[in-house]
């Protein structure tokens, strides 16, 4: 019996040795096979530097972050209590094992066989492996590589590096990768400002970040948080006092948006598209940080001016289109819950907040908002809401609040100031405002629509007919070809085949100077001028300013009236080129690009340097002089007359400055309305129209909507800045002329003005007889010129 027992024992012993040796050999072979396929240490050290695409204003305020939130921090900035919480919950033997916890694996396997939960066997190092490699591998291949990779990481990185990498990469839910991003996502603070109960809560979401986080399921998350706190206490990481205080502390997690300081989504999307064309998916992985030319104060002013203008200068004037819906709770039920439920699916659009009417009085109403708060809207905020009939009519005027709404109506409201609210509605009209620097083409502000969430179409880069806003380039062509502002052209009936254009006022005034014709936006003189010059002169001239005239029809007289599509951004750059004396600048949005690899070189920027081009840094070059600076100056002075005497007079009334010039634009219908204007520092173009072109109402024109929007913006950005008109170049002379005939006038003659001429084109005949020589300009009493 003893002999038989010894034989069995010997057999089992050698069988065990054989199996163990085989296992070691298989493991060694597998390790040798897999080892070359494992990433190097540098490749996963580098991962922690990955951040989403960050887009900043010129004054370094955050416009947007695009991609998974990740805000990596070094080991020294991670609170020790946060590290303890993670170790207590995820890997208690973290500091003692070699990357793979054999005991943990065996315990997990035993629990799996028994059908009970004894905890997983995956260490922090192994979880890190899952987060940084083998994305394209099958699940089995990943598992095979996981253990040798964890062992390698353990050999090549310190424990501090491993925990830092883990906490900067692991997903915490709510779109946050890494502990600092998670702190902002849930609590709106950096990780070093959080407390023990926060650390435990963040740790508790790691096994199931989407369904278990405190926003998705607060009660479940609270229970899991307390489990983490108990583990920390059991392992001696916190005192009983700390444990008891933390476990009764209510959690204050709520959804925090990214730390946007200047909301400019149309700008952000322009940047993203430009970068993606050049660098592809790397923009979301390699820590791209882009500084734009956007000035934060200008951008805020642009958004405010455009949204306010669409709401108040057009939409409210055309009547109330009605409620968005109605909630009728079952009889006997509490209506409040039904009202709040109806509001859950209606987000704020622009300035328009969703609300439900809870009470209607004679001349005021009570409403409830999504958060359950209530407020009153007085008759002052209701009386505008005459029912919309069509684009030209809104009637009858309401006499009482019940003429407008009833209890249970879902409406929009907007805040007028700190205490007053009014009835609102989401505008159907859309628009754009784009503002650039004449010095270098930098885009200072750009708003591409009422609300990016409502429509992602960027109207600042969408081409539409500019109407009379294109006329300055017809007149500029004329100046380049021997005409002067005093040249007269006949405002009389004109026909070319079946084409019989008319003026906006439906009248004719006979011979008119080019200055007066442009100031009053007369259509017939512009068409006659275009007919005399021909498309072979006008289109190349306009092309120099950045318009894509290769797509314009030839010998089509409607081009003179702005019938061909251009972008508001192109208009702003073209007017900026006039403002700077004729040096063609290019629209520039991206000023600097940083990545984990360093700065990316950008193209040299063309600048309007005038007489100072020798002093430019290497990053700049002189912008090409595309037109005689005298032509630009005279053309700018003609657009000053638009502000003083023409369709832009409202600018002159509301902004008390002498350095502003511009031109309105109104198309047939009218379907599009424009105003583009400038001084030497800022050029701004405003466009409004429906996305699907349709008439806006017969009473509308460039002066009614885009001009006041332009005024609101420019008032803000030019406040407290000195006046700066375009600089007068050499080779221009002043002559006293008759305003109506354009001919030279005698000193003391009535209805005269000093006109600007290029020296070679100055007139030499008197108005009265033509026999007297022109007066010496030095003998005429000095008066202010047009600027």
Catalytic residue list: 90, 468
Give the residue carrying structure tokens 């083998």. 134
The per-residue DSSP string of 410-451 comes to EEEEEE-SSS-EEEE---S-EEEEEEE-TTT-BEEEEE-SS-
Q: What angle do CA 752, 756, 758 make, to 5 degrees?
A: 145
- Spatial distance between the Cα atoms of 401 and 394, rounded to a whole number of angstroms: 17
d(CA 128, CA 165): 8
d(CA 578, CA 476): 10
Residue 444: is it exposed, middle or buried by C-beta count within 10 angstroms (0-12/13-18/19+)?
buried
What is the number of other CB atoms lying within 10 angstroms of the CB of residue 661?
Answer: 30
Structure tokens at 43: 């490749």
Cis peptide preceding 670, ω within 30 of 0: yes
Sign (positive/negative) of CA torsion 144, 149, 155, 160? negative
In angstroms, the CA 423 to CA 404 distance is: 10
Mapping DSSP to helix (H, G, I), strand (E, B) and coil, where does residue 475 land?
helix
Distances in Å between the Cα of 416 and the Cα atoms of 308, 420, 423, 450, 616 are 10, 5, 10, 17, 47
Nearest CA to 365 out of 316, 312, 408, 308 is that of 408
Q: Is 46 exposed, middle or buried (0-12, 13-18, 19+ CB in 10 A)?
A: middle
188-191 contacts: CB < 8 A, separation 24 or more? Answer: 188/256, 191/73, 191/77, 191/78, 191/79, 191/82
Rg, the chain, Cα only: 36
Helix (H, G, I), strand (E, B) or coil at 350: coil
Q: Which two tokens stand for residue 315?
A: 């939409």
Token pair for 698: 């017969």
Burial class (CB in 10 A: 0-12, 13-18, 19+), 263: middle
Strands 289-292 and 590-595, by their bridges, are: antiparallel
As a whole number of angstroms, the distance between CA 171 and CA 316 comes to: 47
Place of tokens 């000053």: 640
Are residues 161 and 155 in contact, defined by beta-carbon separation less than 8 angstroms?
no
Measured distance CA(187)–CA(253) in Å, rounded: 5
DSSP assignment of 630-688, as one string? HHHHHHHHHHHHHHHHSTTHHHHHHS--SS-EEEEEE-STT-EEEEEEE-SS-EEEEEE
Let me know: does 436 contact 576? Beta carbons within 8 Å: yes
Tokens of 440: 């270098």
> Which residue, among 56, 596, 603, has the nearest Cα to 288 in the 3D structure?
596
Alpha-carbon span 554 to 657, nearest angstrom: 40
């Amino acid at each position: 019996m003893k002999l038989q027992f010894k034989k069995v024992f010997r057999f089992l012993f050698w069988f065990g040795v054989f199996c163990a040796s085989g296992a070691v050999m298989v493991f060694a072979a597998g390790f040798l096979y897999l080892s070359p396929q494992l990433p190097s240490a540098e490749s996963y050290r580098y991962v922690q530097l990955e951040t989403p695409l960050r887009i900043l204003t010129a004054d370094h305020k955050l416009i947007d972050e695009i991609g998974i939130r990740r805000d990596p921090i070094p080991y020294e900035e991670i609170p020790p209590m946060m590290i303890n919480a993670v170790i207590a919950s995820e890997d208690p033997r973290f500091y003692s094992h070699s990357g793979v916890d054999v005991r943990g694996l065996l315990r997990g396997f035993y629990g799996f066989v028994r059908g009970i939960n004894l905890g997983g066997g995956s260490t922090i190092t192994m979880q890190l492996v899952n987060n940084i490699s083998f994305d394209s591998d099958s699940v089995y291949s990943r598992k095979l590589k996981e253990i040798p990779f964890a062992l390698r990481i353990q050999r090549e990185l310190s424990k501090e590096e491993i925990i830092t990498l883990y906490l900067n990469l692991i997903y915490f839910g709510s779109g946050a990768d890494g502990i600092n991003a998670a702190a902002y996502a849930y609590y709106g603070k950096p990780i070093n400002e959080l407390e023990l109960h926060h650390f435990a809560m963040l740790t508790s979401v790691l096994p199931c970040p989407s369904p278990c986080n405190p926003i998705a399921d607060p009660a479940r998350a609270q229970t899991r948080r307390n489990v983490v706190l108990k583990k920390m206490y059991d392992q001696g990481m916190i005192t009983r006092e700390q444990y008891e205080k933390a476990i009764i502390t209510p959690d204050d997690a709520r959804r925090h948006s990214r730390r946007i300081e200047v909301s400019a989504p149309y700008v952000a999307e322009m940047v993203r598209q430009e970068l993606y064309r050049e660098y592809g998916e790397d923009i979301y992985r390699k820590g791209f940080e882009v500084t734009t030319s956007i000035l934060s104060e200008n951008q805020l002013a642009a958004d405010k001016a455009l949204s306010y203008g669409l709401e108040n200068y057009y939409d409210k004037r055309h009547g109330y289109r009605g409620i968005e819906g109605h909630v009728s709770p079952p009889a006997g039920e509490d209506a409040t819950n039904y009202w709040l439920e109806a509001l859950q699916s209606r987000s704020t659009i622009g300035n328009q907040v969703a609300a439900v009417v809870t009470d209607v009085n004679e001349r005021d109403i009570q409403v409830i908002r999504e958060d359950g708060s209530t407020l009153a809207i007085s008759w002052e905020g209701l009386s505008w809401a005459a029912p919309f009939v069509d684009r030209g009519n809104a009637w009858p005027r309401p006499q009482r609040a019940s003429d407008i709404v009833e209890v249970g109506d879902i409406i929009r409201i907007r805040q007028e100031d700190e205490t007053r609210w009014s009835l609102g509605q989401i505008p159907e009209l859309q628009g754009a405002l784009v503002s650039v620097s004449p010095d270098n083409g930098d885009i200072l502000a750009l708003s591409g629509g009422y609300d990016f969430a409502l429509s992602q179409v960027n109207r600042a880069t969408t081409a539409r007919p500019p109407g009379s806003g294109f006329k300055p380039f017809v007149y500029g062509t004329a100046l380049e070809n021997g005409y002067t502002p005093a040249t007269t052209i006949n405002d009389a009936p004109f026909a070319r085949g079946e084409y019989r254009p008319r003026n906006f006022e439906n009248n004719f005034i006979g011979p008119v100077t080019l200055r007066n014709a442009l100031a009053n936006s007369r259509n017939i003189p512009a068409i006659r001028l275009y007919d005399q010059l021909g498309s072979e002169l006008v289109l190349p001239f306009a092309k120099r300013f950045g318009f894509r005239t290769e797509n314009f029809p030839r010998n089509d007289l409607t081009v003179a009236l702005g019938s061909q599509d251009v972008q508001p951004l192109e208009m702003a750059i073209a007017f900026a080129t006039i403002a700077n004396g004729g040096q063609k600048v290019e629209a520039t949005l991206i000023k600097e690009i940083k990545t984990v690899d360093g700065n990316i070189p950008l193209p040299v920027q063309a600048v309007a340097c005038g007489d100072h081009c020798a002093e430019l840094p290497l990053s700049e070059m002189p912008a090409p002089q595309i037109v005689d600076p005298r032509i630009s100056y005279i053309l700018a002075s003609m657009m000053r007359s638009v502000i003083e005497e023409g369709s832009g007079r409202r600018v002159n009334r509301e902004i008390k400055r002498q350095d502003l010039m511009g031109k309105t634009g109104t198309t047939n219908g009218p379907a599009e309305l424009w105003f583009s204007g400038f001084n030497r520092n800022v050029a701004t173009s405003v466009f409004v129209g429906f996305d699907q072109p349709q008439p806006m109402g017969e009473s509308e024109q460039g002066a009614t909507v885009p001009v006041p929007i332009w005024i609101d913006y420019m008032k803000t950005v030019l406040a407290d800045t000195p006046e700066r008109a375009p600089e007068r170049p050499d080779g221009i002379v002043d002559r006293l002329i008759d305003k109506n005939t354009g001919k030279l006038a005698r000193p003391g003659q009535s209805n005269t003005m000093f006109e600007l001429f290029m020296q070679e084109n100055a007139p030499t005949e008197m108005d009265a007889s033509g026999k007297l020589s022109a007066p010496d300009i030095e003998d005429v009493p000095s008066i202010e010129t047009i600027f």
